Structure 1
Amino acid sequence: METNELYRGRLIDHIQLVVQDVEASRRFYEAALGALGIPIGGVGDDYFWADELFVSSASSPAALGRLTGRVHLAFQAQDHAAVEAFYDAGLANGGSDNGAPGERPYHPGYFAAFVIDPDGNNIEAVYHGEAKKSADSIRITF
């Protein structure tokens, strides 16, 4: 299934993770990102993607035969419940605990959870608290 929409207007255009086991990573990210309302956009033999995240095997043309190193990647969550759902889904689908949902000292209202993905990446979901946004993001439809 390919999606025909992208969301742009944030700092990062896209990130690529090159992983050992694409299927194990797909299961992890499909569950963890699904808990945040982010669907998998496309799947191929040696890759998948979701929004700005592209995950591939080392054999994919863009990977140049190398795995990426340990990465810290944080996804925005809509509320505390989404952070908790992300954490539970990540643990249930091949991830390991790196920080249970809770307040962090980074700024008032920073509520986050951390899960290590199947390749050792530190994946975070964060809710920054009540705030007024001019827009959630920019939607591009093809």
Structure 2
Amino acid sequence: METQELYRGRLIDHLHLVVADLGAAKRFYGAVLDVLGVPLGGEAEDYFWADELFVSTADSAAATGKLTGRHHLAFQAANREMVEAFHKAGIAAGGSDNGAPGLRPYHPGYYAAFVLDPAGNNIEAVYHGEAERSADAVKISF
């Protein structure tokens, strides 16, 4: 399935991770994105993508022949249960625990979990709690 939608006005347009084991990455991201309600958008022999996340091998035409370093990437979750499902799915799909689901001190209501993906990237799912919503964005008061 190929999904193509253009989103304007985002801070990050896209993120490209270059990994040594594409199969392990696809199993991991397929599992955690599934529980977050984000489908894979497309794939080929040397890459796959979902929304604005692009993951490839080092020998892909999209890469420069080098693996990316360690990154921290946080996905938004719709609720605490989704954060917990993300953590469980990430570990079951080859990730390792880097912070069990729970409240964090970053701001009131910040509920998150952290999993290291098979390439060592720190992947987070975060639910920001109840917030005041406007038509354009979510506003959180600190």
Once residues 129 and 5 of structure 1 are traced to their aligned partners in structure 2, the CA distance between those partners, rounded to angstroms, is 28
Give the ranges of 4+ consecutive aligned residues of structure 1 lying more than 6 Å apart after TM superposition. Answer: none
- Call closer, same or farther: CA 1:116–1:136 in 2, change over 3 Å: farther
Equivalent residue runs for 1:25-104 within 5 Å: 25-104=25-104
Deviations 1:89-127 (A, max 9, x none): 000000000000000000000000000000000000000
TM-score of the pair, normalised by structure 1: 0.91
Question: TM-score scaled by structure 2?
Answer: 0.91
Report the CA distance between 1:10 and its aligned residue.
2.4
Specify the SS of the correspondent of 2:75. strand
Question: What amino acid is aligned across from residue 65 of structure 1 in structure 2?
Answer: G
**Counterpart residue number, 1:140:** none
**Residue equivalent to 2:140:** none
User: Structure 1 residues 136, 114: closer, same or farther in 2, change over 3 A?
Assistant: farther
| AA matched with 2:117 | D
Could you tell me how far apart the structure 1 residues matched to 2:69 and 2:44 are?
Answer: 22
Q: Give distance in 2, aligned partners of 1:50 and 1:135.
A: 25
Shift of 1:8: 4.3
Give the paired residue count. Answer: 137
Alignment check: 8 A CA contact 1:7 1:51 kept: no
Query: Of the two structures, which has the highest relative contact order with CA contacts closer than 8 Å and spacing of 6 or more?
Result: 1
Residue 20 of structure 1: aligned partner:
20
Distance 1:49 1:80, change over 3 A: same
In the alignment, structure 1 residue 124 sits paired with structure 2 residue 92: no
C-alpha distance in 2 between matches for 1:129 and 1:10: 21
Identical-residue share of aligned pairs (%): 72
Alignment root-mean-square deviation, CA: 1.4
Q: Secondary structure at the match of 1:29?
A: helix
